[in-house]
Amino acid sequence: MSKYETYRDQVDTTVDICHRLSERMYVTGYGGNLAWKLEDDLLLITPTQMNKGAITARDLVFINKDGETIEGTRRPTGETPMYLNFFRERPDIQSVIHCHPPRTNAFTIIKGQNWLMRPMFPETITEIGPVPVVPYGEPLTQKLADNFLPFLAKYNAFLMENHGLVIMSRLDLEWVMMNTELLEMTSVHIHDAMLHGPDLKEISREDIREMDNVMKTRNLPYPGLPDTYASLEDVYEWS
């Protein structure tokens, strides 16, 4: 049986998310890509040079962990080396979205404080965690993929300097999409607050410590590889 039939639900969900990313203008032109680990050696990934608003089920590509096409007529995204690194270094991760949501993407070109590294809103803290800036690398290159390596063990979301957002999850692609929307709304609030001055109010260290109750109640994982952090307090850097 064709893998498009075997994984029809995941294929349909991926197409739907591609279209939603396009409708929200989180991706434009040929920008952005998605990947979903369906088995240990089977990834569903978007094709190269296609507008995500026009993608259909048969445009998606099935590849293995070496980047070889298993099924599909199109070439996988040129950012495939980046995804192969992600799933190799983070075996706990199931799904990844790379996109360019406008307010979040603004932090990839702002000099100075990266407010997405700070604890600002409870849901963003518990669902996503800090979002570091990964140094710039030429798109579609192994160098860009390797620039993530020092960050992958500690975080689940990343700002690609002068480029875009990568966000990943141990859950399915729908969950990553919801977290992408959550992070973008967080960025909207931060940018609006910055209009009133440069000083923003963080959630305190003591309150972060107590927020571990939410993590336990909802059985939420901490960012990064399993067992990297023992508490939310450990997740954030404190001066």
Q: Kindly report the CATH number assigned to the domain that includes residue 110.
A: 3.40.225.10
One DSSP character per residue, 58-122 reads GG-EEE-TTS-EEE-SSPBPTTHHHHHHHHHH-TT--EEEEE--HHHHHTTT--S--GGGS---H
Distance CA 105, CA 114 (A): 11
Q: What is the mean pLDDT of each run of 10 residues along the chain (239 residues)?
A: 97 98 98 98 98 98 98 98 97 98 97 95 98 96 95 98 98 98 98 93 96 95 97 92
Distance CA 160, CA 190 (A): 19
Residues 6+ positions from 23 with CB-CB distance below 8 Å: 53
Query: Given the structure tokens 């107590």, which residue do they identify?
Result: 210
Q: What is the pLDDT of residue 198?
A: 85
Say if CB 127 and CB 179 are below 8 A apart: yes
Domain total of the chain: 1
Q: What is the pLDDT of residue 239?
A: 67
> What's this model's pTM, rounded to 2 decimal places?
0.96
Q: Provide the residue range defining the domain that includes 128.
A: 3-235
Distance of CA 97 to the CA centre of its chain: 5
